[in-house]
């Protein structure tokens, strides 16, 4: 079903309508809840006060508002928490306690750590080295999923998937595979790996933070969840390997190879003593870049127009490429390549503070008819031309020798302030920055690896809490220049943190009003006194909620219920805590249940039913394995 496109005023009315529906629903839910409590309805939950009923009603309306309206999840959950605060169900301290939860703060700090790894090229280097060029889709699945599972075990899986999406997209084009065959396994592999360690996913950290607050204890160790998470991941991996041929669709992504793409001409230089010196063009990773053509190699005064894949690179080689802007960004990230013009090193701002900017030359630009070298572009605009595109034509020769024409699109390296200063200039028709185009800090990659490794080791050995270890790594990344403060702040997913904090407030309301204990009593009545059946019921409820709302919200809301269940059954709460961690993250059946699923939805060209077809069996497999193994590892 195609989504209708409405004018801006109609979309605005639709958003206002969604807000009105949620508010009316909240009001109706509150009224019904109070009336039911006063009338003694729902006898199985008698004895609850109006605050408990209100907490249940508001929570249910938050579920429905998140699932049925286009409002962002953070707006829905913050609104629900605000209702409970304004009605007096939550006092000020409890309402805000979720935003000081150690798990939530750890999630925020880990975003900075991953940014340091990304900006130094460490993760890109890992992805390029391990993927290779497999011949079949099954081998590609293995080459992709195993390293992603390993990386996601120690890094938050959301930024890992964000980093791998363009890599996998380019990889699929090189291999001539449909992206839909690998994008969904990418998301699932990150979910699998995120359940191998305590720091693999934000849900684990949130649940562990709740456990520490409830028990006033040290919480779980780094590998406590691995005894259940690794068997689940291995079974899930085998299932995908066997079933992908029949259950994964064959579709093209939104952008296909036949789309009209602007062709830039860019000149790069091989840095002497760089890692690619002495390697062939193919082994240096310059042969199979999508939508990119190596037109010529200039070596001193010698021109090598016929370039074979086995041509060995030497220091100071000048490489002329023709390709699209995304591939130009890939070139900028390859360690050992730099723009051929020395003008980029003469700009006033440090390279790490610059970005790439597209600017279209206007017919009133005073530089028209001049070569880029003659125009003294750097002196005029404090920017350097690194690539030129002209109506799809393939421009040959050195960048400095290209004469500017009206309508030429220039790819510039400059300070971000260039966009603000030149946006209204008559010299350019259009000026826009390219996201995530800051030059890589390759010289800092050893530090980035070192801090990440130190974070993992000290957390695994229990020398520091996860928050302390992550904070130490993040400070190290910033102090030693692995990423800039601006990049670090920009990388934090504030909407995710707001959802976590607000959901924790709803969970606190369910617990403090006695609603969680009452619901737990009903679940026990349905499941009996057998803790295995109660564990299965708890897992099933958490899984269903995770598929409808966010995983962190589901975990935060179910956690107090699990503690009440364990207390009433007089058993250990640890099996229930582990089951919540697994169930809240093992979201495979819908694109909205987990953020990484939503991230691959568009690039993979998927439909909603694709997730159901392969995700529902995977959910059942995870549930069976978790319920079977958890009590054996952590007895009741």
Q: What is the pLDDT of residues 611-633, one digit of tens each?
A: 888 888 999 999 999 999 999 98
Instruction: Look at phi and psi of residue 256 and say left if phi exceeds 0, alpha if psi is from -120 to 50, else beta.
Output: beta
pLDDT over 70 (residue 458): yes
pLDDT over 50 (residue 493): yes
Over residues 544-557, mean pLDDT:
73
pLDDT over 60 (residue 24): no
The reported pLDDT for the residue numbered 432 is 86
Q: How far apart are CA 14 and CA 214, in angstroms?
A: 41
Over residues 153-167, mean pLDDT:
74
Q: How far apart are CA 84 and CA 74, in angstroms?
A: 15
The reported pLDDT for the residue numbered 430 is 83
The reported pLDDT for the residue numbered 217 is 75
DSSP string, 286-341: -SS-TTEEEEEEEETTEEE-S--TTPBP-TT-EEEEEE-HHHHHHHHHSTTEEES-
The reported pLDDT for the residue numbered 166 is 66
Bridge partners (DSSP) of residue 356 are: 413
C-alpha 219, offset from chain centre: 26
Nearest to 167 by CA among 109, 208, 125: 125
The reported pLDDT for the residue numbered 20 is 47
The reported pLDDT for the residue numbered 625 is 94
Residues 6+ away with beta carbon under 8 Å from 383: 347, 357, 377, 412, 413, 414, 415, 418
Count the neighbouring beta carbons within 10 Å of the beta carbon of residue 191. Answer: 30
Dihedrals φ, ψ of 220, to 5°? -85, 155
Indicate the length of the chain as a whole number.
636
Count the neighbouring beta carbons within 10 Å of the beta carbon of residue 539. Answer: 24
Over residues 361-370, mean pLDDT:
88
The reported pLDDT for the residue numbered 39 is 47
Nearest to 252 by CA among 187, 327, 177: 177
Higher-confidence residue of 399 and 410: namely 410
- In angstroms, the Cα distances linking 483 to 439, 440, 490 are 11, 9, 11
C-beta of residue 491 within 8 angstroms of C-beta of residue 159: yes
Q: How far apart are CA 575 and CA 539, in angstroms?
A: 11
pLDDT over 80 (residue 83): yes
pLDDT over 60 (residue 455): yes
Over residues 391-398, mean pLDDT:
74
pLDDT over 50 (residue 337): yes
Task: Give the three-state DSSP class for 266.
Answer: strand
Nearest to 187 by CA among 146, 228, 157: 157
With residue 347 as reference, give the H or E element that holds it.
none
pLDDT over 70 (residue 173): yes
Q: How far apart are CA 377 and CA 357, in angstroms?
A: 14
Q: How far apart are CA 235 and CA 212, in angstroms?
A: 30
pTM: 0.68
Task: Give the three-state DSSP class for 582.
Answer: helix
Q: What burial letters (b/e) apply to 382-417, b meaning 16+ CB within 10 Å? A: bbbbbbbbbeeeebeebbbebebeeebbbbbbbbee
Q: What is the pLDDT of residues 221-254, one digit of tens each?
A: 888 888 999 999 999 999 999 988 888 887 654 4
- Residue 159's pLDDT band, with cuts at 50, 70 and 90, is low
Residues 6+ away with beta carbon under 8 Å from 490: none
The reported pLDDT for the residue numbered 520 is 60
Over residues 295-315, mean pLDDT:
80
Q: How far apart are CA 424 and CA 591, in angstroms?
A: 41
- Residue 511's pLDDT band, with cuts at 50, 70 and 90, is confident
The reported pLDDT for the residue numbered 627 is 92
Q: Are strands 337-339 and 264-270 parallel, antiparallel or unpaired?
A: antiparallel
CA 177-178-183 angle, 5° bins: 110
Greatest mean pLDDT among 168-172, 256-260, 317-321, 333-337: 317-321
């Amino acid at each position: 079903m195609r989504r209708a496109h409405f004018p801006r005023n109609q979309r605005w009315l639709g958003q206002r309508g969604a807000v009105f529906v949620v508010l009316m629903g909240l009001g109706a839910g509150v009224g019904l809840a109070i009336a039911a409590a006063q009338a003694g309805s729902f006898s199985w939950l008698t004895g609850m006060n109006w605050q408990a009923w209100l907490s249940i009603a508001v929570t249910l309306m938050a579920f429905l508002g998140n699932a049925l309206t286009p409002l962002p999840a953070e707006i829905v959950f913050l609104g629900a928490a605000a209702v409970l605060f304004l009605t007096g169900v939550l006092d000020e301290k409890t309402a805000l306690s979720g935003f000081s939860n150690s798990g939530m703060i750890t999630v925020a700090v880990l975003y900075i750590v991953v940014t340091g790894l990304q900006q130094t090229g460490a993760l890109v280097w890992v992805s390029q080295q391990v993927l290779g060029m497999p011949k079949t889709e099954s081998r590609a699945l293995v080459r992709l999923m195993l390293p992603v599972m390993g990386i996601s075990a120690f890094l938050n899986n959301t930024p890992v998937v964000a980093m791998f999406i363009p890599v996998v997209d380019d990889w699929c084009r090189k291999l001539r595979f449909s992206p839909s065959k690998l994008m969904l396994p990418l998301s699932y592999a990150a979910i699998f790996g995120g359940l191998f360690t305590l720091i693999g996913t934000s849900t684990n950290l949130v649940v562990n933070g709740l456990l520490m607050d409830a028990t006033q204890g040290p919480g779980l160790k780094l590998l406590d969840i691995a005894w259940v998470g690794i068997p689940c991941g291995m079974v899930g991996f085998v299932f995908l390997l066997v079933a992908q041929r029949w259950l994964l669709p064959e579709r093209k992504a939104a952008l296909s190879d036949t789309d009209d793409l602007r062709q830039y001409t860019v000149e790069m230089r091989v840095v002497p003593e760089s890692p690619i010196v002495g390697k062939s063009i193919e082994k240096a990773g310059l042969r199979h870049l999508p939508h990119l053509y190596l037109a010529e190699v200039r070596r001193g005064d010698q021109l090598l127009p016929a370039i074979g894949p086995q041509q060995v690179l030497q220091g100071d080689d000048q490489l002329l490429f023709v390709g699209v802007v995304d591939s130009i960004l890939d070139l900028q990230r390859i360690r050992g390549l730099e723009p051929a013009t020395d003008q980029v090193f003469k700009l006033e701002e440090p390279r790490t503070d610059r970005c790439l900017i597209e600017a279209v030359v206007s017919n009133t630009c005073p530089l028209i008819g001049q070569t880029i070298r003659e125009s003294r572009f750097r002196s005029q605009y404090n920017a350097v031309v690194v690539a030129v595109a002209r109506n799809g034509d393939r421009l040959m020769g050195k960048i400095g020798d290209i004469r500017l024409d009206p309508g030429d699109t220039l790819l510039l390296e400059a300070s971000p302030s260039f966009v603000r200063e030149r946006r209204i200039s008559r010299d350019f028709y259009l000026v826009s920055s390219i996201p995530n185009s800051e030059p890589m800090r390759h010289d800092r990659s050893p530090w980035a690896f070192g801090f990440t490794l130190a974070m993992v080791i000290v957390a695994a050995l229990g020398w520091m809490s996860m928050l302390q270890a992550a904070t130490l790594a993040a400070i190290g990344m910033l102090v030693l220049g692995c990423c800039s403060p601006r990049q670090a702040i920009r990388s934090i997913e504030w909407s995710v943190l707001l959802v976590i904090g607000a959901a924790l407030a709803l969970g606190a309301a369910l617990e403090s009003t006695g609603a969680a204990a009452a619901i737990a009593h009903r679940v026990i009545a349905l499941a009996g006194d057998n803790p295995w059946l109660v564990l299965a019921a708890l897992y099933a409820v958490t899984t269903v909620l995770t598929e409808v709302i966010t995983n962190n919200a589901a975990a935060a809301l179910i956690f107090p219920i699990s503690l009440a269940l364990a207390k009433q059954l007089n058993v250990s709460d640890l099996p229930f805590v582990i089951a919540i961690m697994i169930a809240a993250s093992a979201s495979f059946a819908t694109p909205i249940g987990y953020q990484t699923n939503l991230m691959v939805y568009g690039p993979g060209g998927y439909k909603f039913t694709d997730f159901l077809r392969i995700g529902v069996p995977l959910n059942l497999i995870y549930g069976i394995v978790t319920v079977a193994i958890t009590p054996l590892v952590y007895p009741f």
